[in-house]
Amino acid sequence: MRRRSLLGALAAGVVGSTAGCVGHPLPPLRGTVARKRIVAEDGTLLAVTRSGIDPRTRLLSERFPREPMAGNATITEKLAGEIRERHDDVGCRVTVRHRNANYVDGVDSGETMSYRATRSTFNQVMAGDGIGFQIGLVDRPKLLAPSEIVRSGRIVEKHLLGRRNPDDRKPTEKRLLTVTREGVSTNRSGLSGRTVGRRTAKRLLKTFDALVYRFVVAHDSPGKRLYETERPQFDRARVGETATFKVKGDDGGRIAEFVDGG
């Protein structure tokens, strides 16, 4: 029996023997997102790479490129429904260039594989992301939700906002601090610097219900993207620096932590 066939049979056996187990029976995989696509029975409907967004239907041409990121496109639930009304067997695909081998599907390090993915995973990752992930052992090849998403970009702006949540009314936000390469703009005393600090944040929370920390990040692809984060990451980052960071959130829009000295 060929190695790939043997491994496939073993994987099928693992599914039955590990039903109900919390842990995944295979070691984690790592790779770089090369491309993501929306596909249907009649072919590729949307292809997204670091160099651009390629919509191949009239519906998607009207929607994209709405986002400024060439390597990014998100599919809302409403848009997904519209696509399904027009096409059969609609699905998401994420192509990964492997850093280590996926023996179950016969992919060596350095090779690429197109995986089935959920719409949530499609929206989370951008072309160029480094990801850690596991594969599904049924309906292969299938990429499960990434355990880690790492990307890089240049921080071009920092924003601090104060949020109020009045009873039974829509929350409101007020810009308190803006940091750019040109300097610092603030409308609050005690916010003359480029960081906030624990004591200042505590004082501001006497006025606001919550503080919102945001970065504007420019990636290698044209355009910028807005991220939310927490105060320690906000204070650590410097405008103008290129940073590598881990992201979280349904659309990969929250910076969780900096890595590699970022």
Instruction: Quote the pTM value.
Output: 0.83
Do 158 and 230 form a contact (C-beta atoms < 8 A)? Answer: no
DSSP 86-115: H-SS-EEEEEEEESS-BTTTTB-TT-EEEE
The count of residues in the chain is 262
If phi over 0 gives left and psi between -120 and 50 gives alpha, with beta otherwise, what is residue 110? left
Question: Residue 166: its pLDDT value, please?
Answer: 81
Question: Residue 36: its pLDDT value, please?
Answer: 96
Sequence letter at residue 89: D
How many C-beta neighbours within 10 Å does residue 134 have? 18
52 three-state secondary structure: strand
Burial degree of 228 (CB within 10 A; 0-12, 13-18, 19+): middle
Question: Residue 254: its pLDDT value, please?
Answer: 95
Question: Residue 196: its pLDDT value, please?
Answer: 94
Q: Which ranges of the chain would DSSP assign to H, the alpha helix? A: 3-17, 58-63, 77-86, 119-124, 198-204, 231-236
pLDDT per residue rounded down to tens, the chain (262 residues): 334 443 443 344 344 333 334 455 667 899 999 999 999 999 999 999 988 899 999 999 998 876 667 778 899 999 999 999 999 999 999 999 999 999 888 999 999 999 999 999 999 999 999 999 999 888 889 999 999 999 999 999 999 999 998 877 888 999 999 999 999 999 877 787 889 999 999 999 999 999 999 999 998 766 789 999 999 999 999 999 999 999 999 889 999 999 975 4
